[in-house]
């Protein structure tokens, strides 16, 4: 019976080839556009550390003066050196790391490679275990090396491939800003997106080349990039960032339970109060302790254009669906004479409904399939775009399933409605009219 219905549907669709093509194309375009933008949105708003992100927090303090203060104002995004170092050394969390990004000149010993600016992250020992960073060779550095401003460096596997042909380079020397650094570790495959822990140097697809102790970077006065926000009369002298009234450091902590998060919040509160009593902080204690995903949401990590494009594509899909439903319905209604004859000859309402549904379902599924292919083409187009997140735009299993779900529901919607409307005609009235 189904094959018969299918045969009927194909015959009917063949009768109006142009119209059939139009309906399939409309659904395909709508689904293709929606899936492309939804996939990009999904990739960009993903969890950079699945399974771990729930226990990673971003503490904020407010060391600013009373200028521009209003109750409830958000504290600055970053910490000062004084506060960052205090929180780091207090060790009130399971793990904690202080960091900022920068560019550092790298002089390869191989004469075949010209000196270049390496993207660096200046951080502290817990960075690697806290974020679960995998190592290909070696390990991170120790707390003693942090305190001793040691000339040690961890490099990414990409840089290891470039400089050492992928061999174990632990123990080798790397020249950074004319100083000799000993390589202690080579990272494995690690590309968290969004680039959550340092978002000023690039929010997506912005892996560093080298990681070295923050203390060492200050000792050698390495360039710090990203954002430096100062207040008062201090000015942002890059050589005296430790003592200036400037926020320029990012601090992450690992807190394993809600209780320890609450305790850490109390700790931040007490620290702010103490600093205010001591006269260093002017404002009433103004702290935040967001989880990683809350933080990413707060800094609006997903580009607003991407969200806008998604809304646009969904709107487009709606227009395409309405268009197809309208056309399909008009087509069915035109055949009401034929349908009434069949009803009068004994076809049940169910049978007619089934036949019509098959016809519209074929359109929907064909549209869904072509839409999925259009989405693949769309994602390829997105990857050709100049934006830094562009090359991340790939469809994963979740999105594949979602495309399927969207295609099926779109085709059902486009099929059910007209079939239901058309099978409710009263045969007697129609036959009389003819």
Partner 1 sequence: MDIRPILSTLRRHKFTASLLIMQIALTCAIICNAIFLIGQRIERMDIASGIAEHELVYVNLAYIGSRPDAMARAAADIAALKEIAGVKSVTLTNQIPFGGSSSNMGIRADLMPQKDTINAAQYLGEDLLSTLGVQLVAGRDFRPEEYRDITDVFAALGKGDLNAVPKQALVTRAVAERLWPGQNPLGKQIYVGQGIPLTVIGVTAQLVRPNQFGEGAQYSVINPIRVSITQGAVYVIRCAPQDREQVLKTALAKLKGLDPNRLVLDKGTVDHLRRDYFQDDRAMAGILVGVCLALLIVTALGIVGLASFWVAQRNRSIGVRRALGATRNNILHYFQTENFLLTTIGIALGMVMAYGINLFLIVHYELPRMPAFYFPVGAGLLWLIGQAAVLGPALRAAAVPPVVATRSV
Helix (H, G, I), strand (E, B) or coil at 102: strand
Beta bridge partners of 107: 175
Give 307 or 402: the residue with its C-beta nearer to partner 1.
307
Interface stretch with partner 1, choices 89-97, 110-118, 246-254, 400-408 (CB under 8 A): 110-118
Q: Is 333 in the site for partner 1 (CB under 8 A)?
A: yes
Q: Which of 38, 174, 301, 329 binds partner 1 (CB under 8 A)?
A: 329
Cβ contacts of 47-54, under 8 Å, gap ≥ 24: 47/293, 48/192, 48/193, 48/194, 48/195, 48/196, 48/292, 49/131, 49/132, 49/192, 49/196, 49/292, 52/131, 52/132, 53/291, 53/292, 53/293, 54/291, 54/292, 54/293
Interface stretch with partner 1, choices 84-92, 100-108, 125-133, 273-281 (CB under 8 A): 100-108
Helix (H, G, I), strand (E, B) or coil at 248: coil
Contact 43, 392 (CB under 8 A): yes
Q: Which of 134, 232, 262, 297 binds partner 1 (CB under 8 A)?
A: 232
**CA distances in angstroms from 120 to 156, 176, 305, 317, 433, listed in the order given:** 10, 10, 29, 44, 81
Q: Is 356 in the site for partner 1 (CB under 8 A)?
A: no
Q: Interaction with partner 1 in 233-272: which residues (CB under 8 A)?
A: 233-240
Task: State the nearest-atom distance from the C-beta of 18 to partner 1, in Å.
Answer: 9
Interface stretch with partner 1, choices 182-190, 318-326, 345-353, 391-399 (CB under 8 A): 318-326
Task: State the nearest-atom distance from the C-beta of 212 to partner 1, in Å.
Answer: 16
Q: Interaction with partner 1 in 369-408: which residues (CB under 8 A)?
A: 385-387
The C-alpha atoms of residue 288 and residue 77 are separated, in whole angstroms, by 10
List interacting residues with partner 1 (CB under 8 A). Answer: 19, 22, 26, 29, 33, 65-68, 103, 105, 107, 115-117, 177-178, 223, 232-240, 304-305, 307-309, 312-313, 315-316, 318-320, 322-323, 325-327, 329-331, 333-334, 337, 385-387, 421, 434
């Amino acid at each position: 019976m189904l094959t018969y219905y299918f045969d009927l549907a194909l015959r009917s669709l063949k009768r109006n080839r142009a119209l059939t093509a139009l309906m399939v194309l409309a659904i395909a375009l709508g689904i293709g556009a929606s899936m492309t933008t939804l996939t990009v949105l999904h990739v960009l708003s993903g969890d950079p550390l699945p399974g771990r992100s729930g226990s990673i927090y971003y503490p904020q303090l407010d060391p600013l003066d009373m200028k521009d203060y209003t109750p409830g104002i958000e504290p600055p995004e970053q910490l000062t050196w004084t506060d960052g170092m205090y929180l780091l050394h207090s060790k009130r969390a399971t793990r904690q790391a202080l960091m900022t990004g920068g560019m550092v000149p790298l002089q390869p010993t191989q004469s075949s490679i010209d000196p270049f600016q390496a993207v660096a992250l200046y951080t502290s020992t817990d960075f690697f275990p806290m974020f679960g960073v995998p190592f290909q060779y070696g390990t991170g550095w120790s707390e003693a090396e942090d305190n001793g401003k040691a000339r040690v460096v961890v490099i990414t596997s990409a840089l290891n491939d470039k400089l050492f042909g992928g061999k174990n380079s632990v123990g080798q020397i790397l020249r950074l800003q004319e100083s000799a650094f000993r390589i202690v570790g080579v990272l494995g495959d690690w590309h968290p997106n969004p680039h959550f822990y340092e978002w000023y140097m690039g929010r997506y697809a912005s892996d560093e080349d080298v990681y070295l102790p923050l203390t060492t970077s200050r000792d050698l006065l390495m360039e710090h990039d990203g954002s430096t926000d100062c207040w008062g009369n201090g000015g942002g002298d890059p050589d005296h960032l430790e003592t200036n009234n400037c926020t320029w450091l990012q601090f992450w902590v690992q807190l394993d339970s809600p209780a320890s998060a609450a305790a850490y919040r109390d700790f931040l509160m007490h620290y702010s109060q103490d600093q205010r009593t001591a006269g260093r902080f002017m404002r009433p204690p103004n702290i935040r302790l967001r989880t990683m995903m809350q933080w990413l949401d707060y800094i609006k990590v997903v580009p607003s254009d991407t969200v806008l494009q998604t809304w646009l594509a969904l709107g487009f899909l709606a227009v395409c669906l309405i268009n197809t439903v309208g056309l399909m319905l008009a087509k069915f209604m035109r055949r009401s004479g034929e349908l009434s004859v069949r009803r009068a000859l004994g076809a049940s309402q169910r049978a007619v409904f089934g036949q019509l549904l098959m016809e519209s379902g074929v359109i929907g599924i064909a549209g869904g399939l072509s839409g999925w292919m259009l989405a693949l083409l769309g994602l390829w187009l997105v990857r050709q775009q100049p934006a830094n997140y562009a090359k991340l735009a790939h469809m994963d299993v979740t999105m594949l399933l979602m495309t399927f779900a969207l295609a099926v529901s779109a085709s059902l919607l486009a099929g059910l409605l007209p079939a239901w409307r058309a099978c409710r005609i009263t045969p007697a009235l129609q036959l009389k009219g003819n």
